[in-house]
Structure 1
């Protein structure tokens, strides 16, 4: 009985340490994508040996931090009502998605520096699928353009979000303007072209 209680206590301590380390990684990488293992261990209040006992490398820890942020962001996006007009849903997704990407931008930068591009893309698959499904819904209902594949529109929307985050980071875009701008750009990209635009696009 005593051994069982001790094992449970050790597992609880291990979970708490792992949680502290991930939270410390998010905080440190959020301040600087080059944050070191020493920085993160100090932030978490643990030693390097304890940290490496949970995460065998800086890469593994960076991935864990990104996975955590994406999971928390997905909970926010999951709560958005997408059952009405797809245009309203797209605006809400882009505005909320922008805030989440802005919060995770530095951690994402750290991940892109140490993880294979395919892995980063894989981790983004679920939120991108949500946008893709909404684009397909809007195309089916005739409120989004159907002359461009949904895959390509989704990719453009992804780049709008990350481009805005990069512009904010470099000071080219004000944080308070970004949610409205990314939403308006997304709606403009997906809008059904007018007859005039169709005519102008025809080859001579």
Structure 2
């Protein structure tokens, strides 16, 4: 009988199929639960996933690690969705399209963001959003180069501002001070005002 194949040197052994299924079930359940209630606890997530608490903690030893995994997965989903958004052409119109496309995802998962803000340091949340922010950075940079956007403020600052305004809108909607339908136009107006060169205010 042939000996069992050894794992390739330098690579971890493939995860067992049942373990992969458990992780997928946990992440699916955690995403759904946290999207409804950012305070959902680990026991509730385990029950929703159909796994025991020991299994859950075996894959995600802390709630912060699970929230981090859900946030990372959500951002990856956002990346795929935003790939379909056309940000070519007039930079100001492109901002409006990007905000509209982004808001659909932010609104759906704003409670996941709330959970992340309670569990994770700001630097980690920012790092997780870097893939999405790369396209914001590129769009603002193009607008600056074309003269459509102000160039007197640092590009990284304006990119951070875009993320902050979007997350602030999610907070306002959750608090009931703004409706989800109002948010895209308010965010767009706020960003375009911030991106407009001072001379254009006159």
Q: Does structure 2 retain, via aligned residues, the 8 Å contact 1:91–1:186?
A: no
Write the distance in 1 (CA, Å) between the matches of 2:51 and 2:40.
16
Distance across 1 between alignment mates of 2:53 and 2:74 = 23
In 2, Cα distance between equivalents of 1:31 and 1:95: 22
State the Cα distance separating 1:123 from its structure 2 match. 0.6
Alignment TM-score, normalising by the size of structure 2: 0.87
| Aligned CA distance change for structure 1 residues 78 and 196 (closer, same or farther; 3 Å) | closer
Aligned equivalents of 2:122, 2:156: Cα separation in 1 = 18
Q: 5+ unaligned residues in a row in structure 1: which ranges?
A: 5-9, 198-204
The match for 2:173 is 168
More helix by share: 1
1:109 matched residue in structure 2 = 114
Residue 92 of structure 1 pairs with residue 97 of structure 2: yes
Where has structure 1 moved over 3 Å in runs of 4 or more? Answer: 192-197
Unaligned runs of 5+ in 2: 5-14
Q: Distance in 1 between matches of 2:167 and 2:185?
A: 15
Q: d(CA) in 1 for partners of 2:167 and 2:156?
A: 17
Q: Report matched runs for 1:46-195 at 5 Å.
A: 46-194=51-199
Distance 1:117 1:143 in 2: 31
